[in-house]
Structure 1
């Protein structure tokens, strides 16, 4: 599967950390019916999006976008050495796959100018920091880390009530190191990078668009997890804090980019994970690059 694309004046690398069956489809999508899954099973299986035991197959990955001016890492994935007791496949992980992916893209941690987080869940902030002599330090030494301010405040307040481990080990150390920028949901960096508010999954969730004068590429984060949600945008996940808002925002995003040339870099779609939004039946699909 391709891991790099050149589109317009952008070069986009996909850095995969894990991929495979995740949660049972009915567990992850509470409003999914057995009838709907039965109807959609064949194409989901053929697309690698559903396992034989009814688990949604997801990729956990980052995108590195090279603009004419900056190198941007979108979402920093799972990370190593993190305390994630509810996710055995993430808990205390020590593999080299993420760093190997950066190296394969001819990148080092020093090359990243901005780390931009669509939101602050564990699988989107993990490589923000690394463990060094028992302390969490920023992984990307030259980068500014961009956090949406409402999102940051949401998790700060939650952490005051009960420990939020990803916030403590992957966000607060970046702030303490003076590397964080707390920004509005419509923040822009130069003429190639723009945030767009896409709340619902979390209160301050944003999508990130790239391109001068138009959205050449966009990373929607956890606005949408599975190709099944493109065809049925009303299906929100159990992780969405506001399921109706997430469904409405998801449909608005799909309508906005449908039948455009914008490359959508999906956070969790199975490989190849990227494509262009096209109408399909009563909903939408993410058509592979190069397909009409």
Structure 2
């Protein structure tokens, strides 16, 4: 299902949150996406996993590619930038030479490229950095001309030329860096960070490695409201029900599990709304501890 739409804003304290969906629909076999998950885990939760997160008749995981727009302290902040248009992605057929109307989606939300102050790439994967740049007469240039681009230093190194583009294991990694990251460096708009990075009084980035070496989360704290934008910490709710289940894209399996547990435990203890990059439906979930495990409720549902 192709779609590109902005939805009604969510207000958390003094921060307005808008979701821009680049694409949503069935992504692939459920246990190809989350290989360690069991058929029973999906089946036992079918009543709420379907249809937003799973198509049980074909056993397909459902995902969304989306950008979260935060209006905070007078700034417009984008969290991840999707796939982008016209990319060479031979290793990812769904992304290869893709064309969509992401910028029109931003426009419908009242956002022009020149309005964006900050771009957050939670990590350097194809579906999180694509609209960092656009094609201008055959040259990749930053899409957001005034923005500061916050890129995790560990990912910039791992996927960059100094590490021969993630050691050259995938052709796509070199292509992603060259068309979506390198132009931002050349324009002087890239800011590399490690550990933590404070954006404003409400928003703080924090390293959360495992999925990639530089994977990160963005914490929101405003008034009594809390949220954590977790990128690819989880691709599907079954990874919250069983945090030991990594996605097929996690580079360091042991570290990814440890980070996932740590972030989910804090979210449960501090009542942070968990906002993943790829959840369909309401897009965010409320997580609670249940013994040594977790339960979750889609945000807005009781």
- TM-score in terms of structure 2 length: 0.89
Q: Deviations over 1:66-102 (max 9, x none)?
A: 1123111000011001111222222111221x12221
Q: Distance in 2 between matches of 1:86 and 1:56?
A: 19
- 1:86-122 per-position Cα deviation (integer Å, ceiling 9, x unaligned): 22222111221x1222112111111110001110000
Q: Distance in 2 between matches of 1:204 and 1:82?
A: 23
1:74 maps onto 2:73 in alignment? no
Q: How many residues align?
A: 290
1:111-162 per-residue CA deviation (whole Å, 9 max, x = no partner) reads 1100011100000000000000000000001101011111111111142743
Aligned match for 1:184, one of 194, 203, 216: 194
Distance 2:271 2:77 in 1: 21
Q: CA deviation at 1:280?
A: 5.4
8 A Cα contact 1:274 1:286, kept in partner:
no
| Structure 1 residue 213: Cα displacement | 7.6
Corresponding residue number in structure 2 for 1:238? 248
Pairing 1:204–2:204 present:
no
- Is the contact between residue 260 and residue 276 of structure 1 (CA under 8 Å) also seen in structure 2? no
**How big is each residue's C-alpha offset from its partner over 1:213-268, in whole Å with a ceiling of 9 and x where there is no partner?**
87722210001110111111110012101112111111111111115443322211
Q: Secondary structure at the match of 1:102?
A: helix
Q: 2:130 aligns with which of 122, 126, 132?
A: 126
**Pairing 1:22–2:27 present:** yes
Report matched runs for 1:77-156 at 5 Å: 77-96=82-101, 98-156=102-160
1:270 is displaced (CA, Å) by 1.1
- How far residue 210 of structure 1 moved from its aligned partner, in angstroms, is 2.1
Runs of 4+ with >4 A deviation: 212-215
- Unaligned residue ranges in structure 2 (runs of 5+): 1-5
Gaps of 5+ in 1: none
Q: Is the 8 A contact 1:191 1:213 kept in 2?
A: no
Matches within 5 A, 1:229-268: 229-258=239-268, 260-268=270-278
Tell me, yes or no, if the aligned pair for 2:158 and 2:166 is still in contact at 8 Å: no
User: Which of 165, 184, 193 is the aligned partner of 1:159?
Assistant: 165
Distance 1:214 1:84 in 2: 43
Q: TM-score, normalised by structure 1?
A: 0.92
SS in 1 for 2:176: helix
Which of 10, 21, 32 is the matching residue for 1:5? 10
SS at match of 2:232: helix
Note if contact 2:206-2:219 (Cα within 8 Å) is conserved in structure 1. Answer: yes
User: Aligned-pair RMSD on alpha carbons?
Assistant: 2.1
